[in-house]
A and B are shown apart, each in its own frame.
Chain A
């Protein structure tokens, strides 16, 4: 158990509203990630962080922003939610010094529905 929690676990929102998802870890790992999972696509990286205030884009970052003001928290914001952002969102951490190429441990996920 890597001590990762996500909140909320489920959310239904309307198109055009901002949404923030939170990922919290208890073990002060440097690397944190946000993925989305959609049928037929596996997991796709949205953004990741390699330290406080240090973030970078993944392969599907359009329409999303992130912030990391504390080691333990990594926030994902949908600035203006669209129906195409309906998905299951997973937070993950790397525990190895290899960072992004190391093994990752995932949170329980947040199911987001945009109507």
Chain B
């Protein structure tokens, strides 16, 4: 059972469309991180959210941490082919081992 469930697992859309990726759990997290990974490379950190209800923007990417700190979302506006990649959420639970746990990832393809 995955502690962090991401949905959808695969998403293929046209350039210019908007999309949202979700990261959900039944556990409470002290923080959540989002990474993007391109083929043949390691994940690269995009953002960390630490406060319930927090919203962070990174150009066309908007990240939100749920009020109860159990979930997060990534919204991309006007997707571009350069956004293609594997998006991973990761977090540290309030209770339990203080180690980062990862979701299974969302593979995003933006078609020109």
- Which residues does A use to contact B, with CB under 8 Å? 4, 40-45, 48, 58-59, 90, 92, 99-101, 103-109
Contacts and interface: CB of A to CB of B under 8 A. Distances in A.
Contacts, number: 55
B65 interface: no
B99 A100 contact: yes
Contacts of A109: 40-42
Contact of A100 (B2, B40, B88, B98): B98
A101 B41 contact: no
B66 interface: no
Interface stretch (B14-22, B55-63, B102-110): B102-110
B42 A101 contact: no
Contacts of A105: 45
Which of A43, A103, A105 counts the most chain B CB atoms within 10 A? A43
Contacts of B99: 45, 48, 58, 100-101
A44 B42 contact: no
A85 B6 CA distance: 24
